[in-house]
A and B are shown apart, each in its own frame.
Chain A
């Protein structure tokens, strides 16, 4: 029974960021692939009128209160001290603005900032702010405020490490901020679209209860927050994006149990909800009373995927033969069938179909029980006669079922696996410290492949006992080379090649046992309009809902 749901660690949650090389993803821009209408995140299902779900038609109607069900509760709203999981980012998008935002073409575009321009070698970035923007307390948005924010972020143990390439931040004018970096940081604009890109008012930074009273420039003004109960915010009458937001107020209710959240939507108490429970997605997808969008067919970047971390520095998983045996013994198609409710698909790569970074045939082991058995027989003598693996997950009923299936499948190959449930806090700690053998994972959502550098780089693979963000601790020098090549090369072909190499290396080294896709959905009743059609200030479409995060600015309610 999960009482808190933060089982994913992505770039935004833990800010393991570093530079990304391609001009294709920098603000400087290179031809981006064709856009697909207003919705950049794809597969949508039933609507009553035949219109695209989540995309409103006609004139936006002002007014009304929207109640949204979120999948987790946050511990506070201060970017320097609180974890922004997907729910945290939703709150942030409600009361704050980030300096940049991701466009529908997958590139980082100016949002609260008017422009973000680098110098020639990408070591000095100049951020120009929009004039005339005020915070909810009336104070103006100035360079000094942004600098104060940046310094606070650098000083915080939570966000500091992610900002280590930033050498200095100074205000060079009333509305210009200059960031100097220690190395060419081509993906800098992407940073500003994440947790470290939100700007909060000075009054909040200096307040004693800073994490409980957000004061931002965002579309809604903070009203009240009762942890585990509700969060309300009302329309910002002085919002710098004129005419928006359309809603009078918005209320978020964290409802941690997936089933309960689905029931609440279906019983009408909430109008919109976010979920990644495949059962709920399956039910509501075919329900004509609701509009649903999912990020299953995301056009750019990669989604979270479900997999098993294999600790490559701990016996018996340090033995490659054992890891191969486990991969051959895992029938991912069956797993998807049993637990995917028809929504999840089996995978053999972290990159989605159609991604330029996916190797055409990465060599990942395909289910073959006979092969698995022979490999286990080979390996067993090296491990005292029997291969024993400890599987564990957080208390999530679906994951528990998945582990039981894995235990059985691996058992068929001769592996003795045990299943265990570990509470969340200890689970994360064990992952970080390497005190585990095989844990469930749900990660690697990224707008640009370089964002996963920190999770895959051998430089982050400290031995068990020390904190390492490369949880599986895979130390492959070829991996580092490929990751660096992708990070430092602007040429898209070279990049694609580099990450295809990464894909193949992952399939070879097997630090992760790929299982299925993870699909997030956003589902609303028919009266909720335009919840998946955000735009950039320039008028261009922005990226829609992905990984359970959305921007509430342009939602309106039918009468």
Chain B
């Protein structure tokens, strides 16, 4: 990722040989309850508030075409760089476009890229990681090395080539992001799976005659899924931020279609930071609120599903 720092640290188990650090990280990242407390059995009010807030954001994004908001592309040259006012609740940008509308429409793009790419990445990378972790052997070595090649590959080169041939529509961007997220999710899931595959309860299940498929479903998946999903949730936030960096490089969705990254980037260019800081401010705020609620949800999920025992 161009903004590689954040993206990669989210999936901290990209170490060859797996898993050297993964054990400690998985353990660490899983438990968030205070010392001396039993794992909470409820998700807590903050979880539901966050979920509610997230749902609202998603709803706004989905319903954008029918909401009573102004057009995100109409340029009103009599209302350029206006701050928040009656007619424009969040103000306008340097082309006279309503910022509230642009942010809502922009969230459609960013949320799609964020959620869909990570979901796709989880589906592909995650299932491969599960298989690799469980089966091991030659396939695992190949996939392992392959994930490393992909991770060490300069992402910008890949993006440039893909965009040169493929263009940059919303779905194509989503796939590109998924492509970048998949190896990282592969490693997380593989490491998590490995850390469970040797555990006593799995061995116990095996000795009792359970087949691989059943082990997968009953023992591995319930333990792996929460960890994977909580990483994935954070990955969504990261993807949205990285989209901003891509916008800076001119590689995100084509203007004048708004994405949160596009808007932030426009807010920093062309002297807008001094002329109209709102352009950069609102999307940053949106991302911040999104990030916080995603994290809260991930936290609670981990806290609730801190499972270490077998399920028979």
Q: Which of A338, A395, A421 contacts B95 (CB 8 A)?
A: A338
Quick one: given A279-B271, A404-B95, are A421 and B250 in contact (CB under 8 Å)? yes
Assess whether B138 is interfacial by the CB under 8 Å rule. Answer: no
| Residue on B nearest A2 in the bound complex, by CB | B250
Complex Cα–Cα for A428 and B73 (A): 29
**How would residues 410 to 437 of chain A score, 1 for a CB under 8 Å from any chain B CB and 0 otherwise?**
0000000011110100100000000000
Q: Mark out the residues of chain B between 262 and 311 whose CB falls within 8 Å of any chain A CB in the assembled complex.
A: 265-266, 269-271
Task: Collect the chain A residues with CB atoms within 8 Å of residue B266's CB.
Answer: 397, 401
| Cross-interface CB contact of B270 among A279, A334, A408, A420, cutoff 8 Å | A279
**Chain A 332-355 per-residue mask, 1 if CB under 8 angstroms from chain B, else 0:** 001001110100000000000000
Of all chain A residues, which has the CB nearest B76? A408
Query: Are the CB atoms of B249 and A395 closer together than 8 Å?
Result: yes
CA distance A339 to B94 in the complex (A): 9
Partner of A398, one of B160, B248, B270: B270
| A334, B254: Cβ atoms closer than 8 Å | no
Q: Which residues of A contact B250 (CB under 8 A)?
A: 1, 395, 400, 421
Q: Which residue of A338, A341, A400 contacts B80 across the interface (Cβ within 8 Å)?
A: A338
Within 8 A of B (CB), among A270-286: 279
Chain B residues with CB under 8 Å of A404's CB are 75, 95, 255-256
The answer to whether B269 touches A397, judged by C-beta atoms less than 8 angstroms apart, is yes
Q: Is B165's beta carbon under 8 Å from chain A? A: no
Residue of A334, A401, A423, A426 contacting most chain B CB atoms (<10 Å): A401
Min distance, Cβ B90 to any Cβ of chain A, angstroms: 19
A397 to B255, CA, bound (A): 11
Alpha-carbon distance between A279 and B254 when the two chains are bound, in angstroms: 24
The minimal Cβ–Cβ distance linking B9 to chain A, given in whole angstroms, is 24
Contact A341 B255 (CB under 8 A): no
Q: Name the A residues within 8 Å of B265 (CB-CB).
A: 397
Q: Which residues of B contact A337 (CB under 8 A)?
A: 77
Chain A: interface residue total (CB-CB under 8 A): 23
Per DSSP, chain B at the interface is loop
Encode B53-87 as 1/0 by CB contact (under 8 A) with A: 00000000000000000000111010010000000
Cβ of A405 within 8 Å of any chain B Cβ, yes or no, is: yes
Q: Are A405 and B95 in contact (CB under 8 A)?
A: yes
Cα–Cα distance between A57 and B124 once the two chains are bound (Å) = 72
With A334-B77, A401-B94, A404-B95 known to touch, is A421 a contact of B270 (CB < 8 Å)? no
List residues of chain B with CB within 8 A of the CB of A195: none
- The B-contacting residues of A in range 334-385, CB under 8 angstroms, are 334, 337-339, 341
Q: Within the assembled complex, what's the spacing in Å between the Cα atoms of A456 and B199?
A: 78
Cα(A265)–Cα(B266), bound, Å: 23
A-B contact count (CB 8 A): 51
Nearest to A411 among chain B residues (CB) is B73
Question: Please, how many angstroms separate the alpha-carbon atoms of A418 and B168 in the complex?
Answer: 13
For chain B, give the interface size range: 20 to 34
**Residues in A whose Cβ lies below 8 Å from that of B256:** 404, 407-408, 419
Contact A408 B254 (CB under 8 A): no
Q: Known contacts being A395-B250, A407-B256, is A341 close to B271, with CB within 8 Å? A: yes
- A20-B11 Cα distance, complex, nearest whole Å: 66
The smallest beta-carbon distance between A291 and chain B, in angstroms, is: 21
- Contact (Cβ within 8 A) A421 B254: yes
Alpha-carbon separation in the docked complex, A426 to B160 (Å):
12
Residue of B nearest to A420 (CB): B254
- Nearest Cβ on chain B to A321's Cβ, whole angstroms: 25
A408 contacts across to B, CB distance below 8 A: 73-75, 95, 256
Chain B residues, Cβ within 8 Å of A279: 270-271
Give the docked Cα–Cα distance between A395 and B249 (Å).
8
Nearest A-chain residue to B96, judged by Cβ:
A338
Q: A419 to B95, alpha carbons, bound, how many Å?
A: 15
Residue numbers in B under 8 Å from A397 (CB-CB): 265-266, 269-270
Q: Which residues of A contact B80 (CB under 8 A)?
A: 338
Residues of B contacting A398 with CB < 8 Å? 269-270
Using Cβ atoms and an 8 Å threshold, which residues of chain A touch B249?
A: 1, 395
Name the CB-closest residue of B to A397. Answer: B269
Q: Please, which residue of chain A has its CB at the minimum distance from the CB of B167?
A: A420
A404 to B256, CA, bound (A): 6
CB nearest neighbor in B for A393 = B250
Task: Please determine whether A419 and B254 come into contact, CB atoms closer than 8 angstroms.
Answer: yes
Annotate B235-255 by CB proximity to A: 1 below 8 A, 0 otherwise.
Answer: 000000000000011100011
Cα A466 to Cα B98 in complex, Å, equals 44
CA distance A395 to B256 in the complex (A): 14
In the complex the two chains form, is A401's CB within 8 Å of B248's CB?
no
Q: Which residues of A contact B164 (CB under 8 A)?
A: 426
Q: Does the CB pair B254–A1 fall under 8 Å? A: no
A400 touches B255 (CB 8 A): yes
- Whether B94 pairs with A338 at a CB distance below 8 angstroms is yes
B95 proximity list for chain A (CB < 8 A): 338, 401, 404-405, 408
Distance, CA A427 to CA B283, complexed state (A): 31
- A418–B169 CA distance with the chains assembled, in angstroms: 13
Taking a contact as CB atoms under 8 Å apart, the answer to whether B255 and A419 are in contact is yes
Write the B134-167 contact mask toward A (1 if CB under 8 angstroms, else 0): 0000000000000000000000000010001000
**Who on chain B is nearest to A331 by CB?**
B77
Report A430 CB to chain B, min CB distance, Å.
Answer: 13
**Which chain A residues border B94 with CB–CB below 8 Å?**
338, 401
On chain A, the residues within 8 Å of B270 by CB distance are 279, 339, 397-398, 401
CA distance A173 to B53 in the complex (A): 87
**Which chain B residues lie closer than 8 Å to A341 at the CB level?**
271
Task: For the complex formed, measure the closest distance between the CB of A353 and the CB atoms of chain B, giving whole angstroms.
Answer: 25
Report how far A397 CA is from B247 CA in the complex, Å: 11
A387-410 CB mask vs B (1 if < 8 Å, else 0) is 000000001011011001101100
A404 to B73, CA, bound (A): 9
Cα-based distance from A401 to B265 in the complex (angstroms): 12
Which B87-135 residues have C-beta < 8 A from chain A? Answer: 94-95
Complex CA distance for A420 and B168, rounded to whole angstroms: 10
B32 to chain A, nearest CB (A): 39
What is the CA–CA distance of A210 and B231 in the complex, to the nearest angstrom?
54
Which B residue sits closest to A278, measured CB to CB? Answer: B271
Which residue, B249, B255, B265, B271, has most C-beta atoms of chain A within 10 A? B271
Interface centre among A334, A404, A419, A423 (most CB of B within 10 A): A404
The B-contacting residues of A in range 109-152, CB under 8 angstroms, are none
Q: Write the nearest CB–CB distance from A177 to chain B, whole angstroms.
A: 48
A338 touching B271, Cβ below 8 Å: no
Min Cβ gap A217→B in Å is 42
List 13 contacting pairs A-B, 8 Å CB cutoff, sorted by A: A1-B248, A1-B250, A259-B269, A341-B271, A397-B266, A398-B270, A404-B95, A404-B256, A405-B75, A408-B75, A408-B95, A419-B255, A421-B250
Known interface pairs A338-B95, A405-B75; 16 further A-B residue pairs with C-beta atoms within 8 A, sorted by A's residue number = A1-B249, A279-B270, A337-B77, A338-B77, A395-B249, A397-B265, A400-B255, A404-B75, A404-B95, A405-B95, A408-B73, A408-B256, A419-B254, A419-B255, A421-B250, A421-B255
Task: Please give me the 8 A-B residue pairs with the lowest Cβ-Cβ distance, nearest first.
Answer: A397-B269, A395-B250, A279-B271, A408-B75, A404-B256, A421-B250, A1-B249, A397-B270
